[in-house]
Amino acid sequence: LAPYTITYFPLRGRANTLRILLNDQGQEWKEIVVTFDEWHKGVLKASCAFGQLPIFQDGDLVLYQSNAMLRHLGRKHGLYGKNDSEAALIDMMNDAAEDIRGRYVTLVYSNFDDGKEEYLKDLMIRLSKFEAILANSKTGFLVGDKISFADYSLFDILLTHLVMRSSCLDSFPNLKGFVERMSARPKIKAYLESDAYTKLPINGNGKQ
């Protein structure tokens, strides 16, 4: 029996990092797919703690907020560093990834056609910071010597931006290497090649 349930739209969106993490960790989960028509009826929305999806269930525990879900899985599956200092640094990395994600969502849902080039300029600056962090990493992970939930977050963001601009990592060899290594992890590789991944749009409005 799958211990976990993800309730979300038929999108990669804010569930993609969770799905990549769960796959890579060999976990099973159930998906409850919510169509936009169903959502617009408003009943489910009214029942959500903050009026939004995704929902993540772990037995009796019901979570809203995708980054809280990542932290929960980080704690449960040893993806949160080996001490409090590493955990704090992992939080910091994930928050920096979330800063990019938040800007991406704003661009996609409010100003995609006019804002894209300006957005990409700012993105390069943000990515250069992660490039420098990985250049200083001895292990190829963002923090410490093991994968953390922040690595999955960064990976998801990089995959998404490679769709927007396939050359966006050309001047960042460490980020490129990171994407290659993450993509080559056997369970991630299988997932990225599966229909469950390739058939899902990234966003809900056809933009990417």
Q: Is residue 208 a contact partner of residue 108, using CB atoms and an 8 Å limit?
A: yes
CB of 8 to ligand 0HH, least distance (A): 8
Q: Angle CA(110)–CA(8)–CA(153) in degrees, nearest 5? A: 70
Q: Is residue 58 a contact partner of residue 140, using CB atoms and an 8 Å limit?
A: no
Of residues 12, 14, 72, 161, which one binds ligand 0HH by CB under 6 A? 14
DSSP state of 43: H
Of residues 29, 45, 86, 165, which one binds ligand 0HH by CB under 6 A? 45
Q: Does 17 bind ligand 0HH (CB under 6 A)?
A: no
The smaller minimum CB distance to ligand 0HH, of residues 75 and 82, is found at 75
Q: Does 201 bind ligand 0HH (CB under 6 A)?
A: no
Of residues 4, 6, 7, 13, which one binds ligand 0HH by CB under 6 A? 13
* Alpha-carbon gap, residue 170 to 167, rounded angstroms: 5
Give the contacts of 60 (CB within 8 A, at least 6 positions apart).
none
* Alpha-carbon gap, residue 171 to 30, rounded angstroms: 39
Q: How many residues bind ligand 0HH (CB under 6 A)?
A: 17
The window from 63-71, 83-91, 127-135, 155-163 that contacts ligand 0HH (CB under 6 A) reads 63-71
Tell which positions 101-140 bind ligand 0HH, by CB under 6 A.
105
The smaller minimum CB distance to ligand 0HH, of residues 62 and 132, is found at 62
The window from 10-18, 24-32, 79-87, 116-124 that contacts ligand 0HH (CB under 6 A) reads 10-18
The amino acid that residue 170 corresponds to is: D
CB-count burial class (<10 Å; 0-12, 13-18, 19+) for 48? middle
The smaller minimum CB distance to ligand 0HH, of residues 9 and 130, is found at 9
Of residues 5, 25, 57, 65, which one binds ligand 0HH by CB under 6 A? 65
CB-count burial class (<10 Å; 0-12, 13-18, 19+) for 127? buried
Which residue is it, tokens 């525990």?
A: 61
Would you tell me which residues interact with ligand 0HH (CB under 6 A)? 9, 11, 13-14, 36, 39, 45, 51-54, 65-67, 105, 203-204
